[in-house]
Amino acid sequence: MPLPSKISLSKSKQKIFKIPVFFTKCLLITLVIASWSSQPVLAQSKEIEPVTPYLASANPAIGKQIAVICRVCHNLQKGEAHKIGPNLWNIVQTKIASKKGFTYTPALKNLKGNWEYETLNHFLEDPMTYAKGTMMAFRGLKSNFERVHVIAYLNTLSDNPGSLPEGDQKKASSMNEAILEASFFGSTWPTGAGSMETGFVCGRICHSEALVQQQGQTREGWEEVIEWMVEEQGMEKLDDDMQDLILSYLSKHFNVE
């Protein structure tokens, strides 16, 4: 099947093709109420890759993009009401099941301790296994890469964010490179500043490297593409710093000039 022609970005917002947004995953989340026993069930742990060695190198802006899926059931900002799930503002390192005004299941109320980094890591990987009986009908974030960045982002949702633990910078860099190569465009994707962030955003919204190459734009043109993706395709608005990094990368490696 031939690739579509360039996106038309006129003020009329004429669309030549429709790109699936990355949070179509959200459509897979059912709001089925899971049954639970009257007896509290303790957390069920399993061996997964820890996040602590990578958090110091995590990018909260990437985590914010991934966390769009959380907004199906949770509000994230200070003062916002609870939804199906509790508001996640100031969730990191606070007592589990302690949000005032929210009714928790026995599965969550029975969990001991605080939402520490590794506790969140295990819970987010598979909520329904970690806390059997939870009503959180979500299959989890199976990629360690995703959990690292989401937890770093959740840590920013506070008036006084905690300090992220120092980790192994070399190990963190290797993980990011491996994830980029495995999940996005592989060894032919140009390296350099903004490579991981651009590859992540483009990969999550179903671009291929060939399509990015075909779309070759000036910096201003790429800025219009991003604006179109936000306004017409439902992509989460990028933070200014991340958008500037991505625009610089795209205009350097995929510029018509």
Q: What is the pLDDT of residues 211-243, one digit of tens each?
A: 777 777 888 888 888 888 888 877 778 888 888
Domain range for residue 137?
Answer: 26-156
- Name which of 163, 162, 150, 165 is nearest 76 in CA terms: 150
The neighbouring-strand residues paired with 114 are 95
Asked if 149 and 194 sit in the same domain, the reply is no
Domain assignment present for residue 16? The answer is: no
Quick check: pTM over 0.85? no
Residue 66 has pLDDT above 70, yes or no: yes
Residues 35, 146, single domain; the answer is yes
Residues 36 and 83 in one domain: yes
Number of domains comprising the chain: 2
* Residues 122 and 221 placed together within one structural domain of the fold: no
How far CA 139 is from CA of 70, 123, 213, 216, 237, in Å, comes to 12, 11, 34, 37, 25
pLDDT tens string 91-141: 999 999 999 999 999 999 999 999 999 999 999 999 999 999 998 888 888
In a domain, 74, yes or no: yes
Same structural domain, 32 and 141 = yes
Domain annotation covers residue 115: yes
Please tell me whether residues 81 and 198 are part of one structural domain. no
Handedness of CA 18, 209, 194, 149 (dihedral sign): positive
Answer yes or no: is 6 within a domain: no
| Distance of alpha carbon 17 from alpha carbon 205, whole angstroms | 13
Angle between helices 240-253 and 219-233 (to 10 degrees): 130
Q: What is the pLDDT of residue 109?
A: 94
Residue 168 lies in a domain: no
Task: Give yes or no: residues 151 and 34 share one domain.
Answer: yes
